[in-house]
């Protein structure tokens, strides 16, 4: 009887040791990878390990997919500024067209009859919004210049027009500071008619 009892106790101890080893190895298996042992392992550690591993595994692919999507929009947004390298003609054309709505008034400051009319026709031929042609006789302007009010749309328009036609662009001087809004182009005898446009 005693021997049988000792044997039973020995079997119980062995079973307890085997059970402990199984429990420990079960936890290790859950940590190593999300297998079906999550229900066998006691609750929190197994359950917690498995879902985060699955979530993190699932998250990287979606993250990769997301950056791929934002990449196409990025090139679309910068074109007005940087992607000019890829398509210089288009962005520049859009910007130039946007400046041409600004009103332009052309004044002759020379003894050449019809010079302001010729300049106005050149500007119109290039798409500029010329709405007045006249003479400027309140002083001598040294060279054909597009005058603008700093900090307004006139500034970008005047600089663009000046670049197109090879003339100067400057802020308005005291004699014309209070004139109506718009770019004021005062042409002088050196103006080359037909520099751009016909």
pLDDT tens digits along 4-35: 666 677 777 777 666 666 555 554 444 444 44
* Interval 57-68 mean pLDDT: 43
Q: Dump pLDDT digits (tens) for 149-164.
A: 999 999 999 999 999 9
Per-residue pLDDT of 129-152, as tens digits, reads 999 999 999 999 999 999 999 999
pLDDT, position 42: 43
Looking at the structure, do residues 64 and 119 belong to the same domain, yes or no?
Answer: no
Tell me: do 118 and 35 sit in the same domain. no
Domain of 119, in residue numbers: 95-187
Cα 175 to Cα 58: distance, rounded to the nearest angstrom: 71
pLDDT (tens digit per residue) in 74-118: 333 334 433 333 333 333 445 556 789 999 999 999 999 999 999
Whether residue 153 is contained in a domain is answered as yes
Cβ 110 vs Cβ 187: under 8 Å: yes
Instruction: Select from 117, 113, 182, 198 the least CA-distant residue to 146.
Output: 182
Q: How far is CA 157 from CA 9, 126, 194, in A?
A: 100, 13, 19
167: CATH: 3.30.70.2390
pLDDT at 12: 72
């Amino acid at each position: 009887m005693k021997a049988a009892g000792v044997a039973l106790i020995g079997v119980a101890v062995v079973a307890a040791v085997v059970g402990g080893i199984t429990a420990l190895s079960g936890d290790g298996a859950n940590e190593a990878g999300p297998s079906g042992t999550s229900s066998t392992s006691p609750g929190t550690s197994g359950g917690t390990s498995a879902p985060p591993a699955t979530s993190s595994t699932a998250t990287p692919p979606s993250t990769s997919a997301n950056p791929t999507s934002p990449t196409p929009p990025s090139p679309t947004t910068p074109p007005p500024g940087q992607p000019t390298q890829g398509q210089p003609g288009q962005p520049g054309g859009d910007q130039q067209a946007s400046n041409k709505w600004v009103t332009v008034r052309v004044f002759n400051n020379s003894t050449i009859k019809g010079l302001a009319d010729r300049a106005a026709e050149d500007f119109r031929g290039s798409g500029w919004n010329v709405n007045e042609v006249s003479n400027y006789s309140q002083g001598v302007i040294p060279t054909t210049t597009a005058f603008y009010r700093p900090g307004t749309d006139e500034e970008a328009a005047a600089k663009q027009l000046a670049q197109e036609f090879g003339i100067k662009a400057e802020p308005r001087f005291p004699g014309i500071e209070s004139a109506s809004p718009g770019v004021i182009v005062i042409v002088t005898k050196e103006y080359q008619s037909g520099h751009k446009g016909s």
